[in-house]
A and B are shown apart, each in its own frame.
Chain A
Amino acid sequence: MAESDAVLVERARSGDGAAFEVLVRRHLRAAYAIALGILRNPADAEDVSQDAFVRALERLDECDPERFAAWLLRIVRNTAISAQRRRRVRQAMPLEWANGARSLSDPAKDAERSALRERLMEAMEPLPEKQREVLLLHDLEGWRHREIGEALGMPEGTVRYTLFQARRAMRERLGHASEEE
């Protein structure tokens, strides 16, 4: 049976790297989803997710082990918001939605996926931050409404409605995009 977050947190507090790695693998996708929802840039979302995990480890003693996921996602949000502020100040380069593209074995498939990713990210961009977070946590990460509500501090009904709005807006935009093509 998989160990609970609480047990892993206690072990990681004592410097158990294996326990911390399980926590990383278990929650990295959710962390990435939150960071992507705020930053709208896959490469930045990766960086922020990594930073957030290291920061979380440094502050692990402040965490209630029973509520690790919600606590971690708060750190991810704060880290992402700080990164966003820095990025706004820098404004060094325009957003490149496709810069999270990886070298896959099939160049044709790679290009197809890259185009699809670009379309999704463009459709997601105008959504309010909360809608993006809820959408990504639910439809990408597979979290339940209750879990999202706990992590983001929202009532379950609000999570459902936010998700509904996000999906509707995304479908409209993706529909328009395909009509334009």
Chain B
Amino acid sequence: MSHDPLDLTAIDPSRDAAGWERMVRGIMARAQPELARRAAGAGVLTLLGRWMRPALAAAAVLALASGAALTSANSEAAAAPATPAGVVQALEVPEPVANWLEEERRPETYDVILALEARDR
């Protein structure tokens, strides 16, 4: 019957235990350089892995510290007046302009006319 398996043991290479073992040894011998290369690569990766963990932790701490410092600097800047009086004086900003700056408003046309008339007086 064609459904029954054929007896192919005569061509089974593992029947000859010594020959089979030679074959396995042959493969393993030829595989050694590649296995060594892989083992060395894995060693470097492991080393990097060991070194990376504390480095990553340190980087995280630095990032947190930088973030905190930036946040604090931003809030200080926001709290400070846009044009401190000292700066206005140092730059010798004309009085009407200094007033507009202090009031934080845009001058209207008549403000400009009044300022020019006051300067001419």
Of the residues B4, B11, B38, contact of A15 by C-beta under 8 Å: B38
B23→A46 contact, CB < 8 A: yes
Instruction: Indicate if the CB atoms of B38 and A140 lie closer than 8 Å.
Output: no
Q: Which of B2, B10, B15 contacts A120 (CB 8 A)?
A: B10
Chain A residues with Cβ under 8 A from B10's Cβ?
113, 116-117, 120
Residue of A nearest to B28 (CB): A21
| Given A50-B26, A120-B10, A168-B2, residue A104 in contact with residue B16 (CB < 8 A) | yes
* Contact call B27/A117, Cβ cutoff below 8 A: no
B19–A102 touching, CB < 8 Å: yes
Number of interface residues of A (CB under 8 A): 42
Scan A22-38; emit 1 where CB is below 8 A from any B CB, else 0.
00110011001000100
Given A29-B14, A42-B13, A102-B19, do A57 and B34 touch, yes or no (CB 8 Å)?
Answer: yes
Q: Can you list, as one digit per residue, whether each of B1-40 has a CB less than 8 Å from chain A (1) or not (0)? A: 0111111111111111011100110111011101111111
Say whether B41 faces chain A, with CB atoms less than 8 Å apart: yes
CA distance A164 to B3 in the complex (A): 6
Interface residues of B in 27-79 (CB under 8 A from A): 27-28, 30-32, 34-42
Interface size on B, residues (CB 8 A): 35
| Binding-face segment, A85-93, A131-139, A150-158 | A131-139
Which residues A3-17 have CB closer than 8 A to chain B? Answer: 12-17
Bound: A44/B57 CA distance, A = 56
Instruction: Report B-chain residues with C-beta under 8 Å of the C-beta of A15.
Output: 35-42
Main SS of the interface on chain B?
helix
CB pair B23–A49 under 8 Å, yes or no, is yes
CB-defined contacts of B35 to chain A, threshold 8 Å: 12, 15-17, 20, 57
- B32 proximity list for chain A (CB < 8 A): 17
Chain B residue at smallest Cβ distance from A32: B13
Give the residues in chain B near A13, CB-CB below 8 Å.
38, 42
CA A81 to CA B36, docked complex, whole Å: 29
Which residues of chain B have C-beta atoms less than 8 A from A17's C-beta?
Answer: 28, 31-32, 35
The 4 closest A-B pairs by CB, nearest first: A15-B39, A15-B38, A116-B10, A14-B42
Known contacts A14-B39, A20-B35, A54-B27; can you find 11 more A-B pairs with CB under 8 A? A12-B38, A14-B38, A25-B24, A28-B20, A28-B27, A29-B13, A57-B34, A102-B18, A139-B6, A140-B9, A167-B3
